[in-house]
Amino acid sequence: MKPFKVNIVTPEKVAWEAEAVSVILPGSLGYLGIWANHAPLVSGLEPGVVTIRLDDAGTTRYMACSGGFVEVSDNVVNVMTDSCEEAGEIDGDRARAALARAKERLLSRDVAIDKERALLARQRAEARLKVLELMEK
């Protein structure tokens, strides 16, 4: 497969910058698969797992993304997100605690709780835990 450039940036850092043969992203309407010579695209991203396949041998990286935007043009994939973490950057205990808190807030009848924010927190925690799970395989 033909490689293409992948850039993932957050407000704080360049989270990833390398070539890949495919990228799977959590699009706002479902997961998106990107390969070389993909048609130009701009899409929103939801919190989820970004899967980056580096070569034809199957070397793969997984990252937990908090959502944002992706732009694909001329064999370059640019991802702009609030946060994106590889497995080594994720604290599993902290992610499990965040997931439990978010689920508790979503079940609460307290009208002062921001349900949308709790839902996003749940999705981010689930993405982090999924990345850890994928790296164990």
Regarding the domain delimited by 4-86, which CATH topology (the fold level of the hierarchy) does it fall under? Answer: ATP Synthase; domain 1 (2.60.15)
Is residue 58 very low, low, confident or very high in pLDDT (cuts 50, 70, 90)? Answer: confident
For the segment 55-83, the average pLDDT, to the nearest whole number, is 95
**pLDDT score of 14:** 95
Sorted by where each begins, the domain ranges of the chain are 4-86, 91-136
**pLDDT score of 46:** 96
**pLDDT score of 111:** 86
Side-chain-facing half-sphere of 9: CA atoms under 13 Å: 7
Side-chain-facing half-sphere of 32: CA atoms under 13 Å: 22
What is the pLDDT of the chain when averaged over all its residues? Answer: 95
Give the pairing type, strands 76-81 and 41-45: unpaired
**pLDDT score of 125:** 96
Q: From CA 45, how far away is CA 26, in angstroms rounded?
A: 6
Which one has a higher pLDDT value, 96 or 137?
96
For the segment 74-81, the average pLDDT, to the nearest whole number, is 98
**pLDDT score of 1:** 84
Long-range contact set of residues 65-68: C-beta below 8 Å, sequence gap at least 24: 65/8, 65/25, 65/26, 65/127, 66/120, 66/124, 66/127, 67/26, 67/120, 67/123, 68/44
For the segment 46-53, the average pLDDT, to the nearest whole number, is 97
For the segment 93-104, the average pLDDT, to the nearest whole number, is 96
Residue 130 has pLDDT above 90, yes or no: yes
**CATH for the 91-136 domain, from 2.40.40.20, 3.40.50.2300, 1.20.5.440, 1.10.10.10:** 1.20.5.440
